[in-house]
Each structure stands twice: as C-alpha cells, then as structure tokens.
Copies of this chain bind each other. A is one copy, B any other.
Amino acid sequence: MTPRIALDAMSGDYGPTVIVPAALQVLAQDENLQLILVGDETELKKHLGHLPAHLSQRLSIRHTTQRVEMDDLPSHALRNKKDSSMRVAIDLVKQGGAEACVSAGNTGALMATARYVLKTLPGIDRPAITTALPTMQGHTTHVLDLGANIDVTPEHLFQFAVMGTVLTQAVENIPNPRVGLLNIGQEEIKGNETIKEAARLLTESPIINYAGFVEGDAIYKGTVDVVVCDGFVGNIALKTTEGVAQMISHYVKQSFNQNFFTRLAGLLSRSILINIRNKFDPRRYNGASLLGLRGIVIKSHGGADVMAFTYAIKEAMIEVQKNVPSQIRHQLAILLGGDTEQGSDQ
C-alpha cells in the first residue's frame, strides 16, 4: 500500500520551518510515500524552494487559511477553525484523500477534532494517546492513556488494553503482548475500585494476555509490553520520566566538565556517552498515536525538530502499512461478537 500522509504543516513551535524539511527528508528516503502539506501555500512554497522531480511528484500542497494556536480551546478550534491546517489534514483522512495525518499542534484540539471528524471505532468510547518508551530489555513498552482521558471507567481501561495489544502486535511484531495495569502495588488488594474492576475485566478476557498489576518502574523494566492507566497518571509518569532523564543528563555533563582530568575522561568516553544519549533521545520516540479512531492520527511533540518530526511521519507510515485501525476494529468485533457498524461519536 502506498501511504499518503497529510501533514499539518503550520503546527508546532516551528511550523513549516521544521515540517517542510522533515517531509522532504522522509520523502527522499521512501520512494513510495506521498505527502500532502496542509497549510498556507505561499509560506509553504517559500520553504520548499525548487524541488527535483522525483520528490515534487509525490508532494502536494493543500492550501488553508487558518491555524490552530497552542492555547486555543478545543471547542473554539472545532467551531471556528474549519479551514485550519489541522482540521483540513484530518478531513483529508476522513474523505479518503490521505491514509493518515500528523500534527504537532495543540493536543486537546487535535483529539477533539479527530474524534469529531473521524468518529471512534465500534466498541470504543474514548480514544487514547500512546507512545513507545524504551526499556531495560531492549524492546519498547507502550503506555496508554497519556493524557486524553482524565476520568476513566473500568471499561475504558479495558478498551485501552485492547488497543494497546493490537498496536503492539502490529508495530512491534509481538504476537501476544503482555498487558499490565498500572497500580501502586502488585497485590490484589491495592488500588481504587475502578482499577480493581478493570483487573477483573482483563483477567476474564480471552484476547488479552493480562499480567496483573504493575508499578511505575515496570514501564522501564520491560516486564510487560503494554501498560494501561488513566490519562492523568500516564501523563504524570511520562513527564516525570522527562524530568529524571534531564536531571541525570545535567549532572553527567557537569561531572565530566569539572576540571582538566574529568574533561579528558569525558573526551575518551565521548562516543560511549553519545551512544547512551542517542539511546534515550526523546526525538527517536516522537510520534504518539491517537488510538481508537476510524483513521490514523499521529501527534508530534510541539517542540519537535526536523529529526523528531521525521520519526512522527515514520510512525504514521508503519500504522498505515499495518492498518492499525482496521485491526483494532477486527479484535473488538471478535470481542463484541460481530462486526457492528455502530460507533460512538461522543
């Protein structure tokens, strides 16, 4: 399948300055890919310059006049920005003009618009956000939800588990991913009622390889492949991770920069330290999936640079190739006993 991916080119902290070069880079690497830059045509052309034919044939521009700002309320974006680059990129997915879209814009507005335009899959009440995180075992863990759903029911957590399972099977090629439920202890008696009930649903499900409660450290120990939690907790875990990693990196730099001898040791360890830094480079993990929609929507970090944004485009490409939404729909149909067409658009 030739993926056509719509890019919300006006999004993020840097807009076309970052997104156009990232698009050209990925386009040059994959000769099947087609990209649609959605945004202000004049501005986009300024950043495109003169393109060689083998790239320009697979790149088009879809002109829009509006832009969703980082502080726009989701409801405002939805009502008043129907010709925004974000909205039109999602519309393209809905109308079949693209198989996926990528945006570095306002997460709340992106989620609300995607949900309104694309609708959720049958059996999914609420979409969730997830991303891959590195583990001690080498493989990655997918944590969801990372911030779309603050208040959840046991059924929502169960749906997150199904979506996480399907995504991990598709993207990481793990046939039977282990699913853990994030809790403050591994004992059965721990946690609130929502989590206990979710545990019961997961234990009873034949399609989930449920591994029980896991604590926060399990995300990075890699004891499971999917970690399920509500969006508040998931977001705090993700941001805490960023904080710890930045602090350690800060002290490592400082320690190797104290005097002549430490700088010499740092010089000799340079390639090792660079390797470690690369291993945890958040840019390599850029590209969170909005799961549970009837279409593929990838959220890039707002502050993404060119390299980071290329990873978000690549995540979209993988999900198109594996047709993740259709696989989630299929698994849910088995669960629900028949492929119903009804979905929730609330």
Contacts and interface: CB of A to CB of B under 8 A. Distances in A.
A216 B239 contact: yes
Interface residues of A, number: 55
Contacts of A272: 255-256, 262, 265-266
Interface in A96-137: 134-136
A317 B210 CA distance: 45
Contacts of A265: 265, 268-269, 272
A218 B241 CA distance: 11
A233 interface: yes
Contact of A136 (B134, B246, B275): B246
Given A221-B247, A247-B134, A231 B184 contact: yes
A279 interface: yes
List the number of copies, as a whole number. 2
Contacts of A189: 73
A147 interface: yes
A238 B250 contact: no
Given A150-B191, A184-B235, A247 B216 contact: no
Given A184-B231, A216-B239, A268-B265, A221 B246 contact: yes
Contacts of A242: 216-217
B235 A237 contact: no
A7 B216 CA distance: 29
A336 interface: no
A14 interface: no
Interface in A261-313: 262, 264-266, 268-269, 272, 275-276, 279-280
A246 B232 contact: no
Interface-centre pick from A238, A239, A246, A251 (highest chain B CB count, 10 A): A239
A232 B268 contact: no
Nearest to A216: B239
A204 interface: no
Given A184-B147, A221-B243, A240-B216, A255 B276 contact: yes
A151 interface: yes
A191 B219 CA distance: 23
Interface in A132-176: 134-136, 147, 150-151
Contacts of A219: 240, 243
The 10 closest A-B pairs by CB, nearest first: A216-B239, A217-B243, A216-B240, A220-B243, A184-B235, A220-B247, A265-B269, A215-B239, A244-B244, A216-B236
Given A236-B236, A245-B248, A255-B275, 15 more contacts: A151-B192, A182-B236, A184-B231, A184-B236, A216-B240, A217-B239, A220-B246, A237-B237, A240-B240, A240-B244, A248-B248, A256-B269, A256-B272, A265-B265, A266-B272
Interface of A: 71, 73, 134-136, 147, 150-151, 182, 184, 187, 189, 191-192, 215-221, 229, 231-233, 235-248, 250-252, 255-256, 262, 264-266, 268-269, 272, 275-276, 279-280
9 contacts: A136-B247, A147-B184, A184-B239, A216-B235, A216-B241, A217-B239, A220-B247, A248-B248, A269-B269
